[in-house]
Every structure is written in structure tokens, then in C-alpha cells.
Amino acid sequence: MHMKICVLPGDGIGKEIMIQAEKVMARIADLFGHDLEIDHALIGGAAIDEKGVPLPDETIELCSGKDAILLGAVGGPKWDELDKAIRPEKGLLGIRKAFDLFANLRPALLFPELKDASLLRPDIVDKGIDLLVVRELTSGIYFGEPRGEEIRNGRKFAFNTMIYSEDEIERVARVAFEAARKRRSKVCSVDKANVLDVSQLWREIVIETAREYPDVELSHLYVDNAAMQLVRDPSQFDVILTSNLFGDILSDEAAVITGSLGMLPSASMGLKNPALYEPIHGSAPDIAGQDLANPLATILSVAMMFKHSFALDKEAMAIEGAVKDVLEKGFRTGDIMSSGMKQVGCDEMGNLVVQAL
């Protein structure tokens, strides 16, 4: 298969983890006889430094003709003081919006080899964690208008608008129901319908959409309860469907309870190409450039890309198997290191996965 991919390394550890991901892609292409066409472009702080904006037009143009986008991470203290309109994060929000990537899939999986790294009690972890957060990504309070700051009676006020249309709710709900069908057929929709009008519409439309998926079990939780249930008994969840802001918060929580933030991939997709794949973790400026980063989340994002953008399940499984293999042999980067294991750097971890393929 011919695959057109745009690689956006971004900032911090983004560059070094992306080198490892590209090695893995190249090896898969070799092994399975695919042909990769890869371009590189700037996003985030790296783009601000060179072009003055976090998401240059060239980047959008280069990504436009592609099947998939692979992104490292954006941001760092260097750009924290900038005007909020040109901060690195704007690059990320901009690319989501530019390609209408409304459904963000964030799996949180406990790797049995890394059980000891979980922050939860062993009796909770023993029940397993294997859930998928489906987060709405291009609407809600992140993009709602009006937004801004103004002076009223001589005092400063700032405001955002949490808003959803029924179409926006329905299309992301469908993604969750479809995903559940390929898993354990359960969707838990998370909202704040006891307080917010926008959540009442959310719940109404999710219930309506669910009628077309009678084989999927639907439940609802208020977001505060959901946050609590995630640490009390994460094994109860299969697919969690939620809005942009709640999904931002709950997906970090879901990731950290697995104990392996450095291991988790994500996919952001719309109705057409390109979809975007990125690790869940950030740019980790404190360890950037020191060969300490864990490249596995990005490598597993490549696996998600093969599965979702190219329907190449065998290739995806080969990558997931290779990662498992390397962990089973006891190799760990610093973030997932425990006693008795062999600590390796980012580059060596990448090489080990390539060898395991």
C-alpha cells in the first residue's frame, strides 16, 4: 500500500520520540511491502520560532493531501510568556479544527508487565484497566463563542461558552457506539446534566442515538461521580463518551491510573482524511534532548494509525506485539523503571522495538 504521512515532531521530547516512531514505520513498510511517503512540517513552539505562528499555512497545506498525521508534542516554558493567540497549544487546537477531527480516542490500558507502576491499590488494579475515552474534540467550551475578557463597571470579567449542537453530539456518540461494538459493547456517557443545559441536550441526543445501537449497553454518569469511579473501580468502564473539557480532564486521570503515561497513544479523527495520531503525554521539556524519553506511546500511536487510517490490523498487531515483547524482556525507560529491570534510553528503546519486529 502507498501511504502518505505528515510527521509533525513539535517541541521538547517530540523530536526524539518521533525519530523512533519513524524507524518503526520504516521497518513495518519493509516487512509488509508498503511504500511510505513521509513529509515533515512545523507545529507549536518550533513553528513560532521559525515562522512566528504555531500553525503555519504551509503545515496545513502539507497535511491536507495526506492519509494521516503523526504528531509528537507541543509546548514548553520558552513560549509560556507569549500572547495567548500565538501559544504553541493554539497549533494543536488549530490543526484539530482545520481537519474537523471531532472524535478523540484515548485508550487507557494497563500493561500487565507495568502493574506495579499503577498508583492504585493492587486489589483494584488486579481487576484490570482497559477502557477507551471518546472525547469530543472540536466544539464545546474550547471553541464556543462568545469568549473573551471585558470591563464591566470598571471590573474585569472573562468568559467562555460551553455549547453543543445536536449534530455535534450525535456524530461523536456514533463513534463511541461503533467503538464499543468492537470492544465490550458498553458506553458510559459522562455529563453534568444535573446543572448544565448543554449537558441536558448532550444526554438527550446520546439516548436518541443509542436507539440505533440496541446491542450496546448505555449508562450515564455525572462528571464528578465519573472522576471518582475511575479511581474507585476503573474495571467497570469500557467506552467513556464525553465532551471536550470533561474528556480532557478524565483522559488524564484514566491515563495516570494505569501508571504509564509514557505508554499511551491516541487518535483524533473526522469523517475524512487525514486523521491525527499522537502520544497522550506532553513535550516534557525537563528531559528533552537527553535520550530519556519513552518513545512507546508514539510507537503505539503508529500502530493505531495502521489500524484506523489504513485498516492494516496485522501491521498494528505486529507493533503492539513487539512493544509487549520488549517489556517482557525487562527493558524500561526511566518513567516506567522498577527494580530488577534494565533501564534504556529513548534511542535504544526504539531499536529494541525494531529488532522485536
**Residue 82-121 contact track with Mg ion, rule CB under 5 A, x = bound:** ----------------------------------------
Helices (H), the chain: 14-32, 45-51, 57-64, 88-98, 122-125, 166-181, 197-210, 223-232, 244-257, 296-310, 313-328, 346-356
Catalytic-residue membership of 142 = yes
Q: Does 297 sit near ligand IPM (CB under 6 A)?
A: no
The C-alpha cell of 281 is what? 503525554
Catalytic-residue membership of 130 = no
For Mg ion, give the closer residue by CB, 248 or 320.
248
Check 11, 191, 238, 248 and give the catalytic one: 248
Report which DSSP code applies to 74.
-
- Burial (CB count within 10 angstroms: exposed 0-12, middle 13-18, buried 19+), residue 154: exposed
Strand partners of residue 279: 265
Three-state SS at 292: coil
Catalytic-residue membership of 224 = yes
Catalytic-residue membership of 238 = no
**Residue 231-250 contact track with Mg ion, rule CB under 5 A, x = bound:** -----------------x--
Distance CA 107, CA 255 (A): 8
Report the partner that residue 89 touches, choosing among Mg ion, ligand IPM, none (CB closer than 5 to 8 A by kind). Answer: ligand IPM
For ligand IPM, give the closer residue by CB, 91 or 274.
91
For Mg ion, give the closer residue by CB, 16 or 248.
248
Check 197, 224, 233, 286 and give the catalytic one: 224
Catalytic-residue membership of 252 = yes
Q: Does 89 sit near ligand IPM (CB under 6 A)?
A: yes
Report the partner that residue 168 touches, choosing among ligand IPM, Mg ion, none (CB closer than 5 to 8 A by kind). Answer: none
Q: Which residues fall within 8 angstroms of residue 78, CB to CB, at 6 or more apart?
A: 45, 285
Nearest of 282, 310, 272 to residue 101 by alpha carbon = 272
The residues binding Mg ion (CB under 5 A) are 248
Q: Which residues are catalytic?
A: 142, 192, 224, 248, 252
